Amino acid sequence: MSTSGAQASGEDSLIARYFRPLAKDPGAFGLTDDAAVLKALGEDIVVTTDAIVEGVHFLSDDPPHTVAKKALRVNLSDLAAKGASPAGFVLTLALRGVDETWLAAFARGLEEDAGAFNCPLLGGDTVSTPGPLMVSITAFGRVPQDRMVHRSGAKPGDHIFVTGTIGDAALGLDILRNGKAAAALASDAASREMLIGRYRVPQPRSALALAIRAHAHAAMDVSDGLAGDLAKLCAASGMSAVIDLPAIPLSKATSAVLAGGAVSMDAIVSGGDDYEILCAVPQGAFGEFMQATGEVGVAASPIGTIMAGTSSPKFLDAEGRELPLRRTSYSHF
Among the listed residues 139, 267, 292, the one whose alpha carbon sits nearest the alpha carbon of residue 213: 292
C-alpha 190 chain-centroid distance: 23
Q: DSSP E strands: which ranges in 109-204?
A: 121-128, 134-143, 159-163
pLDDT given at position 33: 85
Amino acid at 205: R
Dihedral (CA of 109, 178, 174, 51) sign: negative
pLDDT given at position 6: 42
Q: DSSP E strands: which ranges in 96-251?
A: 121-128, 134-143, 159-163, 218-222, 239-244
pLDDT given at position 14: 82
Cα gap 126→143, rounded to integer Å = 30
Compute the C-alpha angle 265/268/274, nearest 5°: 155
pLDDT given at position 17: 86
The pTM of the full predicted model, rounded to 2 decimals, is 0.92
pLDDT given at position 1: 59
pLDDT tens for the chain, residues 1 to 333: 544 444 455 777 888 889 998 888 999 999 888 899 998 889 999 999 999 999 989 999 999 999 999 999 999 999 999 999 999 999 999 999 889 999 999 999 999 999 999 999 999 999 999 999 999 999 999 999 999 999 999 999 999 999 999 999 999 999 999 999 999 999 999 999 999 999 999 999 999 999 999 999 999 999 999 999 999 999 999 999 999 999 999 999 999 999 999 999 999 999 989 999 999 999 999 999 999 999 999 999 999 999 999 999 999 999 999 998 877 766 543
Distances from the Cα of 225 to the Cα of 67, 129, 162, 257, 276, angstroms: 20, 30, 12, 18, 10
Helix, strand, or coil (residue 173): helix
